[in-house]
């Protein structure tokens, strides 16, 4: 399954509304030894957000601990170009290039499930998975 920035940030930022859900889902994934993958664009975006919000220690935890079992898929030129075109066609201010690239990578690798709290993934037909949310 694919892991998005929205999930990674919620996992590390205790002030995020979905922090408890992210912790529960990450444990569920780890216990089931489920394969998890992300892209280099998501890593870059996650590092930038965490460094800005929480500082280098949070970014270090992401890179050295959280991402350790996560496979990294490098974005291709075709992924990037298709995503940029999709973003321009969508003409939606709150949709990001990183999201569109994630959709392209997921389609290319035939991944349907994701760890994401970003509604855009469901809007694109992908299925958020994991432990039922903690409420």
Domains observed in the chain = 2-128 (3.40.50.1010)
pLDDT digits (tens, 9 = 90+) for 57-116: 999 999 999 999 999 999 999 999 999 999 999 887 789 999 999 999 999 999 999 999
Residue 18 DSSP class: T
Instruction: State yes or no: pLDDT of 16 exceeds 90.
Output: yes
What is the reported pTM? 0.91
Contact partners, residue 31, CB within 8 Å, separation at least 6:
none
Q: How far apart are CA 126 and CA 46, in angstroms?
A: 20
Could you tell me the CA-to-CA distances from 46 to 9, 38, 61, 82, 90 in Å, in that order?
7, 11, 12, 22, 23
The maximal CA–CA distance of the chain, rounded, in angstroms, is: 41
Find residue 115's DSSP bridge partners. 3
């Amino acid at each position: 399954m694919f892991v998005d920035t929205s999930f990674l940030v919620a996992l590390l930022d205790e002030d995020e509304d979905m922090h408890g859900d992210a912790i529960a889902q990450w444990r569920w994934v780890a216990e089931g030894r489920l394969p998890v993958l992300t892209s280099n664009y998501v890593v870059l975006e996650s590092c930038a957000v965490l460094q800005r919000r929480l500082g280098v220690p949070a970014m270090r935890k992401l890179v050295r601990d959280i991402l350790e079992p996560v496979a990294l898929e490098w974005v291709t030129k075709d992924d990037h170009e298709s995503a940029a075109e999709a973003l321009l066609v969508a003409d939606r201010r709150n949709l990001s290039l990183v999201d569109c690239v994630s959709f392209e990578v997921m389609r290319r690798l035939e991944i349907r499930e994701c760890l994401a709290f970003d509604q855009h993934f469901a809007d694109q037909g992908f299925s958020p998975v994991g432990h039922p949310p903690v409420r």
